[in-house]
Chains A and B, each alone.
Chain A
Amino acid sequence: MRVGVYFCNCGINIAGRIDPEQVKARLQDMPEVDYFETCGFLCSEDGKRFLAEDIRNKEPARVVIAACSPRDHEANFMRVLESAGLNPYLFQMANIREQVAWVTSDPERALSKGVSAIRSAIARVRLHEPLEKQKLDIIPDVLVIGAGPAGLKAALTLAAADRRVVLVEKDPVIGGKPVRYEELFPAMECAPCMLEPLMGDVFHGEHADRVELLTQTNVVEVTGYYGNFIVKLRQQPRHVDPVQCIGCGECVAACPASAPNEFNCGMSERKGIDFPFAGALPYAPYLDHQTCVRGKGDECRLCKDACPLGPDIIDLDAGELVKERNVGAIIVATGAGLYDCSALPNLGYGRLPNVYTSYEFERILSSTGPTGGELVTKEGEPPGSVAIIHCVGSLDDGHVPYCSGVCCQYAFKFDHLLRSRLPDIRITHLYRQLVLPGKDGTTLYREAVTSHAVDLIRYENISEFSLYSCNSGNGGTIISVGQYGKLNADLVILCPAIAANQGAATLAEVLDVSRDRWGFFEELHGRLDAAQSKLMGVYLAGTCQSPMDIQQAMQQGMAAAGYVLAGLIPGRKLEIEPITAAVQTDRCGGCRVCIAVCPYKATGFDEESRKSAVNPILCHGCGTCVAACPAGAMEGHHFTFAEITAEQEEALG
């Protein structure tokens, strides 16, 4: 074994403390050292040229560079080795600057420590194996789950970059939650108008041909891995061709069946065949099996007969479709829900007639909602007083300790809308903490606090609340808050914490990605990689990852698209870093400890051979499984048992 040793003087940084000539002398007894060269600055352009030429001329089997920290220049030197025709992994650095010369005051002891570091590197590098980056073909297409703001933004960004996108949405309508709101904080922008251009682009924009929108669709199975997933999708029939339908509503008028409309939180009725709400896109009704009388054995076909476009638009016999798509990456943008207010029974939700959640109140405010935007109580009267209870379930160890960060702003949006529609109204905000971040965050708040119609009361604990009916029987509510006394309100709006979607657990299981303790999809890193899940190739956008506002959700949609565009490039192969773990199958006893410790689900179990296997695409090379394997069957490339023990043995020698 011929090892070439290069000693970088680093000007006087290293050579001023450690004399290279004395180092050379102390390596004499190592027969594998073929030569010892010094250089002024090995990382300079001249230095790297010298290194490449010298390696080409002397053709060492292994190289040791004694210089700075590998965290500084290891990658640079590896590229030089590669350019000189040597496998870059047949190389070890000895960190004699940061960890010897700069920290050891006694020159004799610095020399000894430096020599020891270099000798250990030589002992280790002898055992190094040439490693190659694995190159895999990739599918550049993407699955986006959820067609709310984050999902739409991600899908359209990818389509604009020529990617084919499969955009699946579980509901018959796209646009997510905000499309169901009337106006948005902070600028009181019309929500459907703001989202319309995005939604329109999915249907007839410049890149619409690259977006396959599948509504009423769930992801039921995912196999494969980053670069090459196979996804199975199950689509419920709409029974109406959304492309040919002109949305005239003749079928809706003809339908004899009706049921509470879930898109209005059950506050109004819809027909068996109907639009989710006015203006919902795709602009075509859908037939609901639960409501349609055909589901109860009736042979009704009134809707089909009423269609002015003929019998081909409505297909009453359409069944569920199972579709399979091959994609390279998956973006999860499934949104979130609200904390369940029935967990706070003292607030009267579900018991008192005029206690609403913020989402229900958004629908009441909306011109496409149950009252057509008319602001009235259950009794049909405009409210004279409204109480808005902030922080419902938030900032509370009994419920969720986090702040959702958006409720205060929409609460003051409600305040603005209430005052502009009902000039005589009185509004009371009951809050635990006011959180109004961002450069526009306080706009609506400032407006509210300068109004004589508005009171703000800070409360300590939501458990002090007691809500009950007024005796007058007018539907009003009395709110009693511990020491603060009582107040009357014709309408009460609860602002619950944003909570994980109910469907998140099932989807997480299908995707094999983790969720955090609140049920949100867990990000790879809270600050560095919040748009990436812990599973390679699965990205997160919007409130499925954490409570956030529309601006953040849109940005995260862009971020997720950015990861895909940077990682999966058509015509380029996926390069897999070779520093991974690998199972030596003859030694594996099938105990699966490696599977339990892997944070990336990179280790799997082959049922047929009853042995573990590492997927190098998913492996990050941490080596935790290697240390955990009781049989020594797991090998950590470039950090093998033999390499590490050879290094320490020489250091102790």
Chain B
Amino acid sequence: MIRHNVPAGFEPKIIGFLCNWCSYAGADKAGTAQIAYPPNIHVVRVMCSGRVDPQFVLQAYHKGADGVLILACHPGDCHYKEGNYRTAQRNRLLKLLLGQFGIEEERCRLDYVSAGEGERFARIVTEMVESLRRLGPLATNHHGKEA
């Protein structure tokens, strides 16, 4: 992996794909409980984590994201029964692909947050921001401008 010099004051940008039923509700729960977390994440609501097309993730990096977070219902709790299993299956392949691109593993995180887990959501975002701060900007980034 390439070691970058992390520019001073670097604030990573994260795109978070959250399923409507568990994780998005979990993020809302962090809100109602007023648990502060770094504002580096933009949440894209999808009905199910199964909707997350790996192309969304690749496009997010291409357009300037330093990390992508996919949050699903806990295994067994998917509103659509098994969408989160599909996500998990797909994520394994996606990670292989990202590795080949030289994109560090920590830049793509799949995790599980239930509707009640506001604190867990805030913690996961905080952890990811911290790890991306250490990692620095994505090396392949050209911020949406074609080379």
Of B1-9, B27-35, B127-135, the stretch lying at the interface with chain A is B27-35
| Complex alpha-carbon distance, A645 and B90, angstroms | 19
**Residues in B90-147 with C-beta less than 8 Å from chain A:** 90, 122, 143-144
B residues near A173, Cβ cutoff 8 Å: none
Task: Please tell me if the beta carbons of B42 and A117 are within 8 angstroms of each other in the complex.
Answer: yes
Task: Please tell me if the beta carbons of B48 and A648 are within 8 angstroms of each other in the complex.
Answer: no
Task: Please tell me if the beta carbons of B15 and A99 are within 8 angstroms of each other in the complex.
Answer: no
Task: Please tell me if the beta carbons of A622 and B59 are within 8 angstroms of each other in the complex.
Answer: no
Task: Please tell me if the beta carbons of B28 and A69 are within 8 angstroms of each other in the complex.
Answer: yes
Would you give the shortest CB distance from A643 to chain B, in whole angstroms?
10
Q: Is A270 an interface residue (CB 8 A)?
A: no
Q: A98-B32, A103-B35, A103-B36 are in contact. Are A624 and B80 (CB under 8 A)?
A: yes
Task: Please tell me if the beta carbons of A627 and B35 are within 8 angstroms of each other in the complex.
Answer: no
Task: Please tell me if the beta carbons of B83 and A624 are within 8 angstroms of each other in the complex.
Answer: yes
Task: Please tell me if the beta carbons of B37 and A644 are within 8 angstroms of each other in the complex.
Answer: no
Q: Is A380 an interface residue (CB 8 A)?
A: no
Q: A103-B36, A597-B86 are in contact. Are A627 and B43 (CB under 8 A)?
A: no
Task: Please tell me if the beta carbons of B144 and A653 are within 8 angstroms of each other in the complex.
Answer: yes
Would you give the shortest CB distance from A405 to chain B, in whole angstroms?
22
| Complex alpha-carbon distance, A229 and B29, angstroms | 42
**Residues in A459-514 with C-beta less than 8 Å from chain B:** none
**Which residue of A has the minimal Cβ distance to B115?**
A71
Task: Please tell me if the beta carbons of B83 and A599 are within 8 angstroms of each other in the complex.
Answer: yes
On chain A, the number of residues with a Cβ less than 8 Å from chain B's Cβ atoms is 44
| Complex alpha-carbon distance, A117 and B44, angstroms | 10
B residues near A641, Cβ cutoff 8 Å: 53, 55
| Complex alpha-carbon distance, A613 and B26, angstroms | 34
Task: Please tell me if the beta carbons of B42 and A626 are within 8 angstroms of each other in the complex.
Answer: no
B residues near A110, Cβ cutoff 8 Å: 39
Task: Please tell me if the beta carbons of A652 and B36 are within 8 angstroms of each other in the complex.
Answer: no
Q: Is A621 an interface residue (CB 8 A)?
A: yes
**Which residue of B has the minimal Cβ distance to A596?**
B86
Most buried by A among B27, B45, B54, B64: B45
Task: Please tell me if the beta carbons of B80 and A649 are within 8 angstroms of each other in the complex.
Answer: no
| Complex alpha-carbon distance, A622 and B122, angstroms | 25
Which of B34, B52, B63 is A652 in contact with, Cβ under 8 Å? B63
Q: Is A105 an interface residue (CB 8 A)?
A: yes
**Given A103-B39, A534-B81, A644-B53, 12 more contacts at CB 8 Å?**
A71-B24, A71-B28, A98-B28, A100-B39, A103-B36, A117-B42, A120-B42, A599-B80, A626-B51, A645-B56, A648-B56, A653-B64
B→A interface (CB under 8 Å): 13, 15, 20, 24-25, 27-28, 30-32, 34-37, 39, 42-48, 50-56, 59-60, 63-65, 79-83, 86, 90, 122, 143-144
A→B interface (CB under 8 Å): 69-71, 95, 97-100, 102-106, 109-110, 112-113, 116-117, 120, 534, 579, 597, 599-600, 620-624, 626-628, 636, 639, 641, 644-645, 647-649, 651-653
Could you give 5 example pairs across A and B, Cβ below 8 Å? A100-B39, A599-B82, A624-B51, A624-B86, A651-B15
